[in-house]
Structure 1
Amino acid sequence: MIVVLQRVHSGARVRVDGEVVGAIEGAGLVVLLGVLAGDTEREALALAERTARYRVFQDDEGRMNRSLLDVGGGALLISQFTLAADGRKGRRPSFDRAAPPAEAGPLYERFAAHLTEFGVASVATGRFGALMEVEFVNHGPATFLLEQ
């Protein structure tokens, strides 16, 4: 499982066919989730907890010392199978590492549920498998890669 966290301070939204299907307001994280073949509930639980507790927000001294839970921020979770891409050979990425949709979809839903269980103030999602437009301004910019 691969997670890319992008810090935002003025919200984020995702659209499908021009309709907003998920949004967060204020400080938070855009969470891009790639589910790999062989991933299980264990990886979803572990990475959801790391996401909720990962200290990427500034404290009063300007150090990244506060988590999503500490700042009361929201998470906009987007499924992104392209994170599984292998581009080491040729001119076209291979997606052989990606979990099939029948396995990835339920783990995406479980990841979202775990974020809520860990106390994330607001958890919004895109639409699994859809062509989406994600709108946000990366604050920092600050982008972090987590793998399990």
Structure 2
Amino acid sequence: MLTEICRHIRYDDIEYYLLFIEEAVGYLESSKMIGHIEALCNIYTDTVNSLSDNSKYLAKMYYIQCLNTGIVHGDHSKAILIAKKALELADSLEFKANMHHNLGFMYYNCKRYKECRAELEKAIGIYQELGISNNDTLQTLALLHDVSSRI
């Protein structure tokens, strides 16, 4: 349903439209509805690429492409490169923490545990700095605990 809404919706506020897609991708990922992420990734990318000034959306576009490449297609090495692009362009600390977590997750899937731990520790440091304690924080801590036992 989310994919069809994104394909057919008329939008007059691009910022809210792209935010809706970002939230939808997050929902699909957390609900393990992986097959639909690719369709939303393509819609998001096409929309961002059609904008005359897309610079403020590129970090999120790379984030969504990272999820698509790593989670949907299982190409974690390629997803690492995309995650690094997103991290370079990240403009908020909370988004940087999320990207450090995602980068750590991709390293984890490549069995590059030391790099994974370093990225997860960066994410935790940012979460602590911001005083954030939520589901993202818990997922990062759980993955950090698991990877620490593998090193």
Q: Taking structure 2 as the reference length, what is the TM-score of the superposition?
A: 0.28
Which of the pair is proportionally richer in helix?
Answer: 2
Q: Taking structure 1 as the reference length, what is the TM-score of the superposition?
A: 0.29
**Higher relative CO (CA 8 A, sep ≥ 6), structure 1 or 2?**
1
Which of the pair is proportionally richer in strand?
Answer: 1
